[in-house]
Structures are given as structure tokens and as C-alpha cells.
Structure 1
């Protein structure tokens, strides 16, 4: 049985059930893209054990301080997938604070280093947004800096990097709100799109069976 741990913020969380009695059940995966990945993998011959550790509102430097961020029953994982960072851009705008992408990347460096010690493969998913709702033109320099830094750190630590932003912008052109309800949170269609990108990527990397 292969184990896959998904880490992130609200884009990963998606109202997942946290109580122990739900672990191993679909409810523990939430109702977003991780759940859709789970549904696809469940239909395949190989057995997979999936864990969702998304935390709504979480910034990069907060992730490893979250309760049960690494499942206690999981000594090591075959794959750890991480998508985090959009709140590092959003929260300072929302709170009227200065951005500190350097701190975000320092925290991300430590996170990926720790994960690399406990996972056979780490998959870094580029954080995404669309220019609608909460997202203004001011966001993009920070989003670009964050993504470039995450990509570099993925290479440094031997992790896989899944680029998403450019592909999403192209796919959602002219129908932004069909994919993101506020520029940050995916709709049903947005979650479906992310799940397809993730499954295609890890299959191409031979991390899971096609």
C-alpha cells in the first residue's frame, strides 16, 4: 500500500473531517481536489492510503506548527504533496502589513528539508490565483517571486515541481469565476482541474501507476 500525504492551506483543506473516526474515509479528504484524486486512485488496482493535512488560512511559516500536521500513524510517506503560499501573499494585503516573501521561502526551505527526510518523493505544487475577486494587479510580483523561489528550492532538495499558474491562466481565460470563486478559492471546476493536473504529473513522473 502506498501512502500519500497532502499538505497545504484552504485549497487543500476543503472542509475535511478531522476527527479520528473519519480517517480512512472519504470525509477525511474534504470535498476539493484531494478528494477527487482519492476517488480516482480508489478505482485503481493498487491500494493507496491518503491523508489530507490542509489547514484553512495557513501561511507557510505556520504549517509545521499545526496540530497533527504529520499523521502520527505515518512513519514515512511514499509521496508528500505540498501546495502552500497563496496566504503569504493574500494575508498582508488583507491585514495592511508588509510582505515578507524571504521569510516565506526560508520557512519553505525548512519544510521541504524536513519532508525530504520522511518521504520517498516530495511534490511541490505551484500556488495559484486568478485576476478576479480579491486578486489585484499588485499580487503578481509577489506570486511570481514566491513561485520562482519554491521552484528553486524544489530543485535544491530533489523534489518535483508541478507548475500550475500559467496553465490555469490559459485554461480559465474569459471564464475566471468558473474556476475561482474569489480569485483564490477554486470552484468545483477549479478543483477538478487541479486534480487532473496532479494525477497527470505524478503519473508522468512514475510516482503512481497510470
Structure 2
């Protein structure tokens, strides 16, 4: 029988062969290094893109990788901290190029400079809430169809220019409090469905943030996770980081 082992299977087999005694006597640093070598390739470049949720008050004058000022104070920074801690020997490069207020057309306008030219190995994109929020405020007239075609084109362009890049599509989300009222629905849910549809059609990873928060509000009220219904609190960003890493680590 021909059995094909993936990288995780090989990791388990190697650990088993080493023996339980060896594992017990290994230092924590040794175990982390061994796991890191199989989980993330050395010198991997990770890029976060999106709107204010990703921006998270980052210092846009500081574009240095792995710098907390350039990463902001949101989920991107929390994810970077986890990865840099657990993969110290991998020499990761983690950057944030989210910009507050951005919609899909805004990402498209700066995509070459802020994404393609950076040549990330992993690209995470969260965009969509402003596409409806600005429309409801009378500052934009983009439809759900515009969101689908624009976002789809952005993903196709990226896949063509960076065929080896792993793309992670993050689900737009809102919580029913603050700025969120019935006028957001059902259109917002239609836009969320578009993000999932595009990820599935292009076989990209998908982070289900909305369903995650829908479960979270069973434990604490919406304001606990996002005071205005859009921008996460510290708890909300931490929850996002946890879910994102779950998806990331499935590869």
C-alpha cells in the first residue's frame, strides 16, 4: 500500500521515533524550534491589508517590518507577536498596510505599491465594511455586484502576479450595537457572502470572523467585542488573532 505523508504526518513520525524520553528532556526552546522549522518556511513575508480594523492606528511613517509601531495595536500586531515568538529562528517579515476608510477601490488604487511590489508569501485581506458604511452615509454608491467584481479582480490580479503567495480572505463583520442598525441588512450579509464565495471559488483560505463574533456575543454583549459595532476592542482583536491563527495553522 502506498501511503503519502504530509508535513504534519512526517513531523509526528519524527517525534515518535525520537522517543518519549527525548521529548521530556528537551528544552522548550528546542521543541519550539523543531516545530517552527516544519510550520513556516524561513524568511516568510506576511502582509496584512485592509481598512481601519487592520490599520489599528499604525504609524504610517514607520514601515519597518516586525515593529509594533508600524503594525498598529490590533489583531495584526497580536498575530505578529505570536508568530515572532513561536518562530524565532524563521526570520519572519511581518508588515501591515491597512489604511483607515479604505474600500475595495481604494485597495485597488494602491495595490501595486502596497502589495504586489512587497511580494508577500502570505497575504491577509480584510475589506468590505466601508463599502457599505460609506454608501449608507451617502459618500459612495458601490453595489454588492461592484464589491464582488472589484474584490474578485483584485484577487485575480494578485494570483497572476504572485502565483506562489498564500492568500487569506477575512470575512467582513459587524456586531449589532453602536453604528450598526437594521439599515445595514440584508445588504451587509450579501457582501459577507461574496467574500466567502470568492474565497471558495479561487480555493483561498477564509477566516470566518462573523460567525466567530456571533458565538462570542453569547458570552458577552456586542459592545464588549466592538464598542461601535465595527472596530474591535482589545478583546475583539484578540479573538480575531486567535481565529486567524487557527486558519493559518491548518496549512
TM-score (norm 2): 0.75
Deviation at 1:156, TM superposition (A): 2.1
Q: How many residues align?
A: 203
After the TM superposition, which residues 40-79 of structure 1 pair with which residues of structure 2 at under 5 Å, given as runs?
A: 40-45=82-87, 46-66=90-110, 68-70=113-115, 72=117, 74=118, 76-79=119-122
Corresponding residue for residue 27 of structure 1 = 69
- From 173, 198, 202, give the equivalent of 1:157: 202
Corresponding residue for residue 126 of structure 1 = 171
Runs of 4+ in 1 over 6 A off after TM superposition: none
The answer as to whether partners of 1:80 and 1:115 remain within 8 angstroms in 2 is no
Corresponding residue for residue 59 of structure 2 = 17
C-alpha separation in 2, matches of 1:87 and 1:133: 15
C-alpha separation in 2, matches of 1:97 and 1:60: 12
Helix, strand or coil: the match of 1:36? helix
CA-atom RMSD in angstroms: 1.8
The answer as to whether partners of 2:63 and 2:95 remain within 8 angstroms in 1 is no
Larger Rg belongs to: 2
Which has the bigger relative contact order, CA under 8 A and spacing at least 6? Answer: 1
Counterparts in 2 of 1:103 and 1:138: CA distance versus 1, 3 Å:
same
Helix, strand or coil: the match of 2:121? strand
In terms of fraction of residues, the more strand-rich structure is 1
The answer as to whether partners of 2:122 and 2:165 remain within 8 angstroms in 1 is yes
TM-score (norm 1): 0.89
In terms of fraction of residues, the more helix-rich structure is 2
Structure 1 unaligned regions, length at least 5: none
Which region of structure 1 is more displaced relative to structure 2, 185-194 or 170-179? 170-179
After the TM superposition, which residues 1-210 of structure 1 pair with which residues of structure 2 at under 5 Å, given as runs?
A: 1-20=43-62, 22-45=64-87, 46-66=90-110, 68-70=113-115, 72=117, 74=118, 76-95=119-138, 98=141, 100-117=143-160, 118=162, 119-173=164-218, 174-204=220-250, 206=251
Deviation at 1:39, TM superposition (A): 0.6
Deviation at 1:95, TM superposition (A): 2.1
Listed one character per residue, the Cα deviations across residues 143-181 of structure 1 (whole Å, up to 9, x for unaligned) are 211121121111222211121212201212351111102
